[in-house]
Amino acid sequence: MSEQTQLGGTDGFRGPATLKHGPGLINEETFALATYALVERQLEHGEKGPLIIGQDTRESGTRLRHAAISGALMHGVEVWDMGIAPTPALQKVCKELGGMATVAITASHNPAEDNGWKGMVGSDKPTKEVVADISRRYWGYTERGPIIMKRRVKLPRKLELLSWYEAKVINDIQKEFGDIPLEGKLFVVDGANGAAQGLTAEIFRCLGAQVEEFSCGTKGRINDGCGAADLSGLKNFLTANPEITNNPNFVGAVANDGDADRVMSVGVLNSNEGPQLVEVNGNHLMGSHALGQTGIAGTEYTNSGLVQVLKAEGIGFEYCANGDVFVTQKLREKQADGEDWTRGGEFTGHHIDTNWLSSGDGIRMAAWFAAFAASHDLTFGEIYSSLPLWNEKMSKVRLPASINSASILESQPVKAVLAKATDSLASAGRLVVRASGTEPVIRIWGEGKKRSAVETVVNDLETAIRNRLDK
């Protein structure tokens, strides 16, 4: 991060962890001051209760977590340290046990060398306005000089809170699907070697499932060939273990990301060529989650194939900006209008039920999706087949630190290619081009009924952006 830039977006900020000193870096100073700013803001708004904090399994996590704790303690507030804990577990504790704010030390699905800070107002992810306020406070502190004590603070870890969260998830699934909804079913669980570790697998077992674990320990590196953002490792594991995929009781595999706020899945399709592994993404999970609902909300990346199916089922759908915070905003708008809309999500695996949390919980949703499939006697592969999605292609262009994304996207050559690409898809597709809120990247996404048309427009846009960078 460069000096005086805003500290990330509604999902926090992240980047390469470093031992270097200086403002705007992923270091102890930044995490202490950012937490100090968050707590100050909450106190000014009359919020009370403890700060809830935890981390994922990154090597840099412990020192950064202790730094964040130091920043909170400078205000004299109570801190509940949950140690290694999933982000949704921290949020659930904050929501139901009266926390004033939540801080998760995590870079989510990023590589193990990165780390990040997710600060939340209560259990809710911050709005853009709150992010701007915290950033303003943070940079003001850096200009006035160090105000955070440098000694490392260790607090007793409240490990019992993770057991409390586990029981909450199990009870929630049992209320909807019965005491042992996964009895007799076989699943594979990919923990991304992250914050969830073996928690998702343990919840599945408590619900009656037979579970094979992949990357659920502490020996492997977080997100390294595993997890929701990279299903290649999980697919390789399934391919290498045909006794699992050939088992008649096998339903599918689930994968959390590094901090377990999302879930993706893999299913098996049987064909003349033999078993075929398929990625069951957030669109498929949203399709299942929407059944019986008045309507759901999804981001601009939601596949049009899903929207068409929902329309045919009489289920409403509304688009919103990318990010689960915007899904929640849309749901709350509908609720304010008297509509009973509580569910929504993103194709990347963040799924929201405002009756549970205001943002994604990949552990609870993994258990919900498994129980849904089992209760309907379906496999993940069969759920995949039942939803005809439009063709998609996604690409991204990484920007040098010195380049502003707006200058690229607003340049005439890029705008001309974008206009042409949009016209070529017309009513048979959509295109989304945007700057990432968490890293220096421009993302390009297209969908359409014709694969060749989608690939052409995305490739053309990527080329135009790269050419502009070379100027």
Decide which of 143, 158, 173 is a domain's last residue.
158
Is 286 within 8 Å of 302 (Cβ atoms)?
yes
pLDDT tens digit string along 180-213? 999 999 999 999 999 999 999 999 999 999 999 9
Alpha carbon 17 to its chain's center: 20
Domains contained in the chain, number: 3
Q: Are residues 409 and 378 in the same domain?
A: no
Is 298 within 8 Å of 322 (Cβ atoms)?
no
Look-up of token digits 């039942």: 386
Residue 330 lies in a domain: yes
What domain range includes position 248?
163-385
Q: Are residues 281 and 181 in the same domain?
A: yes
Q: Are residues 149 and 224 in the same domain?
A: no
Q: Are residues 183 and 329 in the same domain?
A: yes
Look-up of token digits 């100073």: 29
The HSE-up count of residue 27 (CA atoms within 13 Å, CB side) is 11
pLDDT (0 to 100) of residue 2: 46
Residue 114 lies in a domain: yes
User: The CATH number of the domain where 135 resides is what?
Assistant: 3.40.120.10
pLDDT tens digit string along 319-374? 999 888 999 999 999 999 999 999 999 999 999 999 999 999 999 999 999 999 99
pLDDT (0 to 100) of residue 99: 98
Q: Are residues 275 and 131 in the same domain?
A: no
Q: Considering the entire predicted model, what is its pTM?
A: 0.91
Is 131 within 8 Å of 6 (Cβ atoms)?
yes
Residues of the chain with pLDDT under 50: 1-2
Q: Are residues 250 and 352 in the same domain?
A: yes
Q: Are residues 127 and 111 in the same domain?
A: yes
- Helix spans in 376-450 (H): 380-385, 405-409, 412-425
Q: Are residues 153 and 49 in the same domain?
A: yes
pLDDT (0 to 100) of residue 1: 47
pLDDT (0 to 100) of residue 423: 86
Q: Are residues 222 and 325 in the same domain?
A: yes
Residue 225 lies in a domain: yes
Residue 247 CB neighbours (<10 A) = 14
Q: Are residues 147 and 249 in the same domain?
A: no
Strands (E), 165-232: 186-190, 210-214
Beta strand 186-190 with 210-214: parallel, antiparallel or unpaired?
Answer: parallel
Residue 6 lies in a domain: no
Adjacent-strand bridge partners of 263: 256
Tokens describing residue 423: 């016209």
pLDDT (0 to 100) of residue 388: 93
The region that residue 95 occupies, defined by phi over 0 for left and psi between -120 and 50 for alpha, beta otherwise, is alpha
